[in-house]
Amino acid sequence: MNWLIKNPLTRLIRRGWRNFNLKRRYQGFILGQQVEITNCNFGRFNKVCDRSRLANSKLGDYSYVGTDAKISNAMIGKFCSIGPNVTISMGMHPAKNFTSTHPVFYSLTFPSHNRFATEQGFIEHGTVTIGHDVWIGQGASICDNVTIGTGAIIAAGAIVTADVAPYSIVGGVPAKFIRKRFKTEQIEQLLKSQWWSQSDAFLSKYHREFHDIESFIKKIIPQLNQDQSQ
């Protein structure tokens, strides 16, 4: 039986069958080649590009993942754009108090023919929470236990080690705040509007207003406020 599990052809068939069922289960789901998905949930009209690997994660409506991305233990909102070679929540090593950072001293899950640990001595995996309409640039890395606010932009190649505020732009190693995308009052109105929860018909009708923040604030916000008050 072990040879069946390790056989490349068997793995390919199982992956193909699993991905086939995902396409049937989720509306408008697009899957690239050689994608690996384990224990994930999706919304509508998601896309996962070639060779990406997702585990224990959730993607909201319309969010997509570029090529060669690695995502684990992440809750990702709607309309998120995740670029190629992005890494999200790939595990942690102890940096304080532990004499050694090697997992054979504290991990029961690390694959090894020999280990010294007899109990799990360190939490190796955290979670990442990503809001709606977040853009993560190519090659960025998001560390475990980080929250990225709605509307944020993560610059290409950034390593994010701390929480990112909504509608802010960060970049660098480690990532630092660069600027807000909009004025504070505009950000407050956008967050309150929760436009990402509107119907497809609504978003289609007003799609041109998404091209300009001033037009959005002027035309869509009053409409959403009116709808919420009814």
Catalytic residues: 102
For residue 130, give the 3-state DSSP assignment.
Answer: strand
Of 145, 187, 189, 150, nearest in space to 166 by CA: 150
3-state secondary structure 81-111: EECCCCEECCCCCCCCCCCCCCHHHCCCCCC
- Burial code (b: 16+ CB inside 10 Å, e: under 16) for 55-84 equals bbbbbbbbbbbbbbbbbbbbbbbbbbebbb
Strand partners, 159: 141
Q: Cβ contacts of residue 92 below 8 Å, gap of 6+?
A: 122, 123, 124, 125, 126, 143, 144
Beta-strand ranges (E) seen in 66-175 are 70-72, 74-76, 81-82, 87-88, 128-130, 135-136, 141-142, 147-148, 153-154, 159-160, 168-171
Sign of CA dihedral 171, 177, 178, 184: positive
